[in-house]
Chains A and B, each alone.
Chain A
Amino acid sequence: MAKWAMVIDLDKCVGCQACSLACKSENNVPFGSPDEQRRRLDIFWHKVIAASRGEYPNVNIEIIPMPCMHCEHPSCVPVCPAKATYRREDGIVMQNFRRCIGCKYCMVACPYGARSFNYREQEEEEYQRPDLPPDLGLDTKAYIGPWPYPHRTHGVVEKCTFCFHHIDQGLKQGKRIGIDVVPACVEACPTVARAFGDLDDPRSNVSQLLASRNSLKLREEFGTEPKVIYLPR
């Protein structure tokens, strides 16, 4: 089984936010109103933070794109009471809207702020994904997983999925994951700062990138072992 990971080269990142936009349009994540943004009610599956150190004129700002880290030992999975958050065998941490009861415990437990709560009924509920089979529901044997969500309802927690619909479909079609098929944010990056691939495969682009340079993970002190790995500037 593959172990999907993303490598982000901070040296190449220019902070253009193309990844955030690509994520929003690919996954149909709603845009918030200015009022919602001020109150932090809007949904972000992907964010770009800027961390500054020092005072002018000796100041250094680092731009860090942050999708969900898809940790090896995620802190959100053990706290979920409803089995709505789970880790797939290929290491992707998933959120099932149908099981989610909206207790928000995972948002409290996540050290990366990767999760957003859906605070209002969205105008556009349908996911326009005609290329995927219809969702059949939990009670049928033909249950195919939480995608595509037939309705986006308020009151559940959402998060980045590493665009697993691309990966699953690509695997079925025999495409090369990481080269032909990548998550939307990787595809959109104009400076090729992002790479996606299989950590277990020594010939994959992520493994080779990690071997080439020093790397860092965010908040390693929690022992979550994130699978979004950064190459420092």
Chain B
Amino acid sequence: MELTYTAIEGGSKRYYYALAALAAVALAGLVGFSISYVEGHRVFGSSNVIPWGLPIVVAIYLIGLSAGSLILSSLTYVFGQERYKPIARMAVFLAIVLIFGAMIAIAVDLGRPEKAWRLFMFFYLNNMTSMFALNGILYGGYFVISLVYLGSILANKAKLIKPIGILAVCWAALVHMGTGAIFGFIATREIFYSPIKPLEFLSAAMVSGLALLILAVFFTLKVTGRSISNEIIFSLRRLLTILIIFLVILVLVDKLTHLYSPNRDATVFLLTGRYSPLFWVGQVGLGYIVPLIILLNPKTNKNIRWIMIAAASVVIGIFFERLALVIPGLAYPLQYYPGDIQGVWGQTGSFPIMPAEVILSVGMFAFLGVLYFLGLKFMDLLPSSTESKPAHGSAEVEPAPGGQGVD
């Protein structure tokens, strides 16, 4: 069967309403950013104990989603699995949108965002031993490569697609391993410091990227009136199960190594301290246990609805995985001197939820939703609905409900 792609018409009222709603939220995020820029980062929840807050969490989360999504597009374009072809273009496009969002999130987290260009003065103004500076190369290159990749796919340059696809996939793996290295190389923070952090990040990226792709594909195709064969969802489900199990093994190894004495206090704090719900409920519960129960149970794993719940649970759970790395990892007080450090210098860091920061983060997701909707309208990303309806039948376009499938 010859597969053709088409853009949605995007003329319906609901499309415009959804676009306007997302744009309004994105605008609110812009206001949040403006406040933080004028007032300083005191409007954020971060402090001198926990210097990194929600924007960094969102950034590494989006990088993960992006890298995972791009790696999965390789199933079609590098490994030649034709059955995934209907969703491959969306995977690449999603990857570009998400890495763009991640770069915005990093710039927003900087104390002086107007100096973000300094991160891209490779070797000249940059200190190349810094993981941030190296990641500047990785993210910038990744953005360019995936744009070329999408361009060659849209233009159907069959000879170009495969080599660029291989490059893009290797680069995507590097991108997220580099992100893991930002944390894994810091010996000061015991929860961060781990040689398998890059691999753990890559694995989490593939899990969350795949889960988001399942959600995005399903809801986008459903509301635009296209049919999707359950076979694709089921085979992606099997892949998701395997990837989650692999991620659980990596996290287990990491935490067990850190739990082994001596030097185990920080990890004990992570598992039992005030931020332990982030780990146990968010990361382990939503990220691993709930989806694994659904995906391994033969009663539920044949049901599309249950698979969607599992995928949504993974997408939320991996966000908590990032949160449970950054916040407790920094909140655990530094042991300057043996003994109990009295007063403020020995206190566990606290991370208040500040409105400007939350609005900013939500606004970033909404902005990505806007980009996604616009992309669907102006690029031929979706498979044509040849089976059920004629091509112009896609005029009755409806947006995805609640932005669940698009952010």
Does B234 sit at the interface, judged by CB under 8 A? no
User: B51 — which chain A residues lie within 8 A by C-beta?
Assistant: 104, 107-108, 117
Q: Specify which of A82, A113, A115 is in contact with B118 (CB 8 Å cutoff).
A: A82
**Residues of the B chain whose Cβ atoms lie less than 8 Å from the Cβ of A153:** 112
B136's closest neighbor in chain A, by CB? A81
| B269 part of interface (Cβ distance < 8 Å) | no
Asked if B2 lies at the interface with its beta carbon under 8 angstroms from chain A, I say: no
Q: Which of B117-132 contact A (CB under 8 A)?
A: 118-119, 125-127, 129-132
Given contacts A41-B48, A111-B334, A117-B111, contact A83 B341 (CB under 8 A): no
Indicate if the CB atoms of A83 and B112 lie closer than 8 Å: no
In the bound complex, CA of A64 to CA of B345 (Å): 11
For residue B340, which residues in chain A have a CB less than 8 angstroms away from its CB? 51-53
A179 within 8 A of B: no
Quick check: B352 and A39 within 8 Å, CB to CB?
A: yes
Contact between B40 and A222 (Cβ–Cβ < 8 Å)?
no
Whether B337 contacts A154 by the Cβ 8 Å rule is no
A49 in contact with B336 (CB, 8 Å): yes
Q: How far is the CA of A211 from the CA of B387 in the complex (A)?
A: 88
Given the interface pairs A39-B352, A108-B330, the reply to whether A116 lies near B48 with Cβ below 8 Å is yes
Q: Is the CB of B336 within 8 A of A82?
A: no
Is A78 located at the chain interface by the 8 A CB criterion?
A: yes
Q: Is A156 among interface residues, defined by CB-CB distance under 8 A?
A: yes
Tell me if B339 and A52 are in contact (CB < 8 A).
Answer: yes
Q: Shortest Cβ distance from B44 into chain A, in angstroms? A: 8
Closest Cβ of chain A to B349, distance in Å, is 7
CB of A36 closer than 8 Å to a CB of B: yes
A100 and B130 in contact, given A82-B118, A119-B42, A218-B336 (Cβ under 8 angstroms): no
**Are B111's CB and A108's CB within 8 A?**
no
- Residues on A with C-beta less than 8 A from B339 are 51-53, 62
Contacting residue for A101 out of B39, B52, B116, B131, CB 8 A: B116
Any A CB within 8 A of the CB of B133: yes
Size category of the binding interface on chain A: 35 or more
Known A113-B334, A121-B40, A222-B187; contact A41-B47, beta-carbon cutoff 8 A: yes
Instruction: Name the contact of B125 in the complex, choosing from A75, A82, A156 (C-beta under 8 A).
Output: A82
A155 near B188 with CB under 8 A, answer no
The answer to whether B342 touches A81 (Cβ under 8 A) is no
Q: Shortest distance in angstroms between B327's beta carbon and chain A's nearest beta carbon?
A: 12
Contact A109 B186 (CB under 8 A): yes
User: Which parts of B34-91 form the interface with A (CB within 8 Å)?
Assistant: 38-42, 46-49, 51-52
Any B CB within 8 A of the CB of A31: no
Contact status B189-A53, CB under 8 Å:
no
Q: Which residues on the A side are within 8 Å of B352 (C-beta)?
A: 39
Q: Is A47 in the interface zone, CB < 8 Å from B?
A: yes
Q: Is the CB of A108 within 8 A of B52?
A: yes
CB-based contact B112/A119 at 8 Å: no
**Which residue of the partner chain A has the closest CB to B36?**
A155
Q: Which of A50, A51, A99 contacts B338 (CB 8 A)?
A: A51
Determine whether the beta carbon of B48 is less than 8 Å from that of A155. no
Residue contact B49 to A52, C-beta cutoff 8 Å: no
Are A99 and B47 in contact (CB-based, < 8 A)?
no
Residues of B within 8 A of A155 (CB): 40-41, 110-112
A219 in the interface, Cβ–Cβ < 8 Å?
yes
What separation, in Å, do the CA atoms of A37 and B47 have in the docked complex? 10
Q: Are A154 and B136 in contact (CB under 8 A)?
A: no
Is B115 positioned at the interface, with any CB of A under 8 Å from its CB? yes
Tell me if A79 counts as interface (CB < 8 A to partner B). Answer: yes
The answer to whether A79 touches B336, judged by C-beta atoms less than 8 angstroms apart, is no
Contact B47 A40 (CB under 8 A): yes
Contact of B111 among A64, A66, A101 (CB under 8 A): A101
Look across to chain A and name the residue whose beta carbon is closest to the beta carbon of B116: A101
Whether A120 lies near B186 (C-beta < 8 A) is no
Residue of B nearest to A122 (CB): B40
Question: What 0/1 readout, one digit per residue, does chain B (328-350) give for beta carbons within 8 Å of chain A?
Answer: 00100011111111111111011
- Chain B contacts of A113 at CB under 8 A? 48, 334, 336, 345
C-alpha gap A37/B344 in the complex (Å): 9
List the B side residues contacting A101 at CB < 8 Å.
110-112, 115-116, 118-119
- Determine if B127 and A82 form an interchain contact, defined as CB atoms under 8 angstroms apart: yes
- 15 A–B contacts, CB within 8 A, in A order: A36-B42, A39-B42, A52-B342, A66-B336, A79-B186, A81-B119, A100-B111, A101-B115, A111-B188, A113-B334, A117-B48, A154-B111, A155-B41, A156-B111, A218-B337
Interface residues of A (CB under 8 A from B): 36-37, 39-44, 47, 49-53, 61-62, 64, 66, 75, 77-83, 99-105, 107-113, 115-121, 153-157, 218-219, 222
A102-B111, A111-B188 are known; give 8 further A-B pairs, CB within 8 A: A47-B345, A49-B342, A51-B336, A51-B341, A52-B342, A108-B192, A112-B336, A119-B41
- CB-based closest 3 A-B pairs: A102-B111, A155-B111, A154-B40
